[in-house]
Amino acid sequence: MKYSVITSFLGSSKDRFHDYNEPKTLAQKFEMASRIKGMSAVEVVYPYEANNVEETLALMKKYNLGISAVNVNIKAEPEFKMGGITSSNKKIREKAISFMKEGKAFAKALGVNKIQVCPLGDGYEFAFEADYEQNWTWLKEAFSEVADYLPEILCCIEFKPSETRGTCFLSNASKTVLLIKETGKKNLGVTLDFGHAMYGGTNPAEELSIIHAAGVPYYIHINDNDGKWDWDYFCAAKHPLEYLEFVYYLIKFGYDDYLVSDTSPTRTGIESTFAANNEVTERFVQIAKSLDVESLRSTEKDYMILWKEIENKFFK
């Protein structure tokens, strides 16, 4: 496996009550990422963190780091708070689409093959608030337009159950796959965030299998949470067996892109948190490869036979 980290998590962050860690320049974030064991790339956030091609290329070369994707932020602008690509205001929708197109151009200039976008401002809170059919149409129109611009650059759509909206329109893998299929665009994919699936009440390994079976490209963010909220803990902190199963299916399906740490080190060390993500995942890769799941799994066999295999390999 190869590993990347979202650069925004290498600096300062905050919640409703506290500020965490010290702010850093983009150069300082690249320098820190280069020190983390196993890290070979970063995911940069456009346009607020990285937007200068020459500067970014120089940092990539200086610190020998690739870029796994350009993360296009379409939620931070004040006018996006009630929705960007699903705003009832056409000019706001156009601005959100423009951000994604600009992000693709930035990615191409850097030699990066994809952008990823999480439309967190696009959703609703209350009954009768949203015209669901109209919003679905706007989502399809927006991503179709983005797909047609610089079609050689993949656009991966990250689903999430909620935040910033009470309910996000693209809240799970199946809805995101359906949207992509309805556009008919081959250069749209899904960003599967382990924690988003987990706190959304679904099984990350099953969500991965649905995306893979649909023949849609995908890109992976790794973390964990308590199943109640998107805490972005380090990998396997709360769901080690579910994470092992997730890694097992990544291997089974031949995933060869980056595993990207989307993890928030608020009360743990930044470098040690991301090193743990990479190290734990590598250990799980070795365990997953050693499991004899296929020959032991059957609806006609006692699951405890398979469990003994997992127990012997995982808890040894």
pLDDT in tens, the chain (316 residues): 999 999 999 999 999 899 999 999 999 999 999 999 999 999 999 999 999 999 999 999 999 999 999 999 999 999 999 999 999 999 999 999 999 999 999 999 999 999 999 999 999 999 999 999 999 999 999 999 999 999 999 999 999 999 999 999 999 999 999 999 999 999 999 999 999 999 999 999 999 999 999 999 999 999 999 999 999 999 999 999 999 999 999 999 999 999 999 999 999 999 999 999 999 999 999 999 999 999 998 878 899 999 999 999 999 7
Nearest to 197 by CA among 169, 233, 167, 223: 223
Question: Considering the entire predicted model, what is its pTM?
Answer: 0.97
Q: Are 276 and 232 in contact (CB under 8 A)?
A: no
Q: Are 91 and 48 in contact (CB under 8 A)?
A: no
What domains lie within the chain, and their CATH numbers? 2-314 (3.20.20.150)
The structure tokens listed for 72 are 């296009």
Q: In this predicted structure, what is the pLDDT of residue 298?
A: 84
Q: Are 259 and 2 in contact (CB under 8 A)?
A: yes
| All residues at 6 or more sequence positions from 122 whose CB lies less than 8 Å from its CB, including other chains | 83, 84, 85, 86, 135, 139, 165, 168, 169, 170
Q: Are 309 and 67 in contact (CB under 8 A)?
A: no
Q: In this predicted structure, what is the pLDDT of residue 169?
A: 98
Q: In this predicted structure, what is the pLDDT of residue 35?
A: 98
Prior bond to 47 cis, omega within 30?
A: yes
Q: Are 174 and 182 in contact (CB under 8 A)?
A: no
